[in-house]
Amino acid sequence: MSDVSGVFAPIITPFRADGLTIDYAWLPYYLQFLQDQGLDGVVPMGTTGEGPSLSLDERKAFLETVMARKGRLKVIAGVGTPSLTQTAALVRHAFAAGVDSVLVLPPYYWRNVTDEGLLHYYRTLCDTALQPGQRIMLYHIPQVSGVPITLNLLDGLMHTHPECVLGLKDSSGQATTFLYFMRRYPTLRVFVGSDRLVGVAYEMGVAGTITAAANLVPGVIQEIRQLAGKGQSYQETQEALTALRDLLQEFSPIQAAIKVLLAHMLRMPPTYVRPPLVNLTPEQRVALVTKARQLPVLQPYLGQELSHGGSSGRGG
């Protein structure tokens, strides 16, 4: 298995205006932009990519398209459903497609299950879906999934299946959480999912980051990574990244805000979210891009033309 580390983007899933049809024509331009900007890898069908809103067939088709267009980018496929058999099918398909790893959400519908039940879920997944050398990453995002990756769960899985676990993504937003994971299991590759913690995360020696703003400014995150790795001050760059994240949060849902900005940055047609997420209104889109142009990290990418409909770009 190749080295899995560095700056990753949880890529969006571009939908057409109906919210149902995936706009595959977006992907070549989008993935090339991310690669050109210095990104190390992508995570399709994560939270930013609205993964739980896709059917199994859509997930498989989308991943295959990403793999065909990924270039040098590493790929960690977002998987995980409340159904153990469906999750296993997604894991098998992802590794057969050639991914570097998979990011496995816990079975999020079942909010009050015990660690014993979750441990049985993950052990069975490893036993039935993985071939020798294939390893999963656990996804800790309790504020969204409602099901945390606890230390008891991790302890149990590492006791019986250490060869199956590559690492985990911590999207709790708390530095103490990823530090605890790192110190307890120093061999695991811990990725941090908060844009606001990028600097401190790399300073503390995480394997990488998987953050929403990496869709827009991967080069900025790489700069923070390099500064932190050299022991140099990254505070000014981190503040600029945090300001971008604050702007995205102001125009929630964050998936919709990222899609509006990407359409302008790439000179592509607008792309949309799938219900139950809601698209920004025309007025919100204008306000978002207007404010984004005031951020130094985005000024190189955003031109001055602005309309309610988004960028002109290619047809379709």
In the numeric block, which tokens belong to residue 39? 């990104």
Task: Out of 13, 47, 81, 211, pick the active-site residue.
Answer: 47
The upper half-sphere exposure of residue 309, i.e. CA atoms within 13 Å in the direction of its Cβ, equals 5
Task: Out of 109, 281, 290, 291, pick the active-site residue.
Answer: 109
User: 301 catalytic, yes or no?
Assistant: no
Q: How many angstroms separate the CA atoms of 118 and 106, rounded? A: 8
User: 234 catalytic, yes or no?
Assistant: no
Looking at the DSSP assignment, which residues form a beta bridge with residue 42?
Answer: 9, 75
CB of 135 closer than 8 Å to CB of 101: yes
User: 230 catalytic, yes or no?
Assistant: no
Task: Out of 60, 169, 177, 259, pick the active-site residue.
Answer: 169
User: 108 catalytic, yes or no?
Assistant: no
Task: Out of 122, 139, 185, 234, pick the active-site residue.
Answer: 139
- Residues labelled catalytic: 47, 109, 139, 169
